[in-house]
Amino acid sequence: MKRILFYAWGLPVPAYTFFLCFSFVFCILGMVWYDRRSATPLRVRPDIGVWTFLGAIMGARLFYLVQFDRPLCQLFFLTGSGLVFYGGFIGGLLAVLVYARIFALPLRPLLDLAAPFVALGEAITRIGCLCNGCCWGGLQHACLGAYVSRGIPFPGINM
């Protein structure tokens, strides 16, 4: 596991941030591609990704601040840790609801289109969690290695 994947222009690129951004771009482009190939396209535009990304990041950060009793003035400090999946899901869903309302898209088909890509995006982002060490992983200094801590019976139990 490697927390910093590489350096770009002298700045560290954390594994979690890389996989989070990659999953958003990959899944939004996949959703637009799949929509254009379907029998009844919704004409979803790639800008839904910007709406969803901003809603998800703000929701994840807000949920973290409330859950861990942090001051709300830290909402826009996005360096370091502080994102919770449930908040990101709720924030992203609210952003999609607003997007569908503004651009007059039918909600149920839009959510049906997005569902598999949400699951795929979560799976890709979990790779970043594992590399970061926050989801059952530990820091490993080997070239190709993974350290998975023992003693966790199932997800949701923190020891």
pLDDT digits (tens, 9 = 90+) for 63-118: 988 888 887 777 777 666 778 888 999 999 999 999 999 999 999 999 999 999 99
Instruction: Flag whether 156 is in a domain.
Output: no
d(CA 8, CA 21): 15
**pLDDT, tens digit, for every residue of 14-59?**
888 899 999 999 999 999 999 999 888 888 888 888 999 999 999 9
What is the count of structural domains for the chain?
1
Instruction: Flag whether 155 is in a domain.
Output: no
Amino acid sitting at position 33: W
Instruction: Flag whether 154 is in a domain.
Output: no
Instruction: Flag whether 157 is in a domain.
Output: no
Residues of the domain holding 139:
4-148
Instruction: Flag whether 116 is in a domain.
Output: yes
CB 121 within 8 A of CB 127: no
Other residues' Cβ atoms within 10 Å of the Cβ of residue 67: 12
